[in-house]
């Protein structure tokens, strides 16, 4: 578990901008995922960098992530740090969702 003080939480929230859709957009540092090229927020706490969405889920949402589980963005936005948009799911469920989302990417049509 991440040990965080109220000062850490206050500092964290300075990097959050609430979007009209309800997502908490992370404007702090970011790094790319290990297995993918998707950007994730990073936040320094106790002298080491942690994923910003993990900090949000664990410290603000009080959700632990047991072994074999992943934190899934239900809003599908990797830079969102809203604790309610991050759900702890099994690795299998995470994989199932990943495949389903890839099969149905957002459509954009210039013709209208």
Q: Which of 75, 84, 88, 93 binds Zn ion (CB under 5 A)?
A: 75
Alpha helices in the chain (DSSP H): 6-13, 52-55, 91-103
Least gap, CB of 60 to Zn ion (angstroms): 13
- Residue 43, token pair as written in the block: 């936040």
* Nearest CA-CA partner of 29 in 44, 48, 10: 44
* Mask for 4-23, x = binds Zn ion (CB under 5 A): -------------------x
- The residues of the shown chain that bind Zn ion, judged by CB under 5 A, are 23, 75, 77, 80, 82, 85
């Amino acid at each position: 578990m991440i040990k965080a003080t109220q000062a850490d939480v206050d500092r964290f929230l300075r990097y959050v901008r609430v979007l009209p859709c309800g997502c908490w957009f992370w404007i702090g540092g970011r790094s790319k995922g290990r297995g993918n090229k998707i950007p994730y927020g990073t936040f320094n706490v106790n002298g080491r960098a942690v994923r910003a969405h993990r900090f949000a889920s664990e410290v603000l949402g009080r959700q632990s992530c047991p072994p074999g589980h992943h934190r899934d963005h239900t809003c599908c936005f990797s830079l969102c740090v809203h604790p309610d948009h991050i759900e702890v799911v099994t690795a299998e469920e995470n994989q199932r969702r990943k495949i389903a989302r890839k099969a149905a990417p957002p459509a954009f049509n210039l013709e209208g």
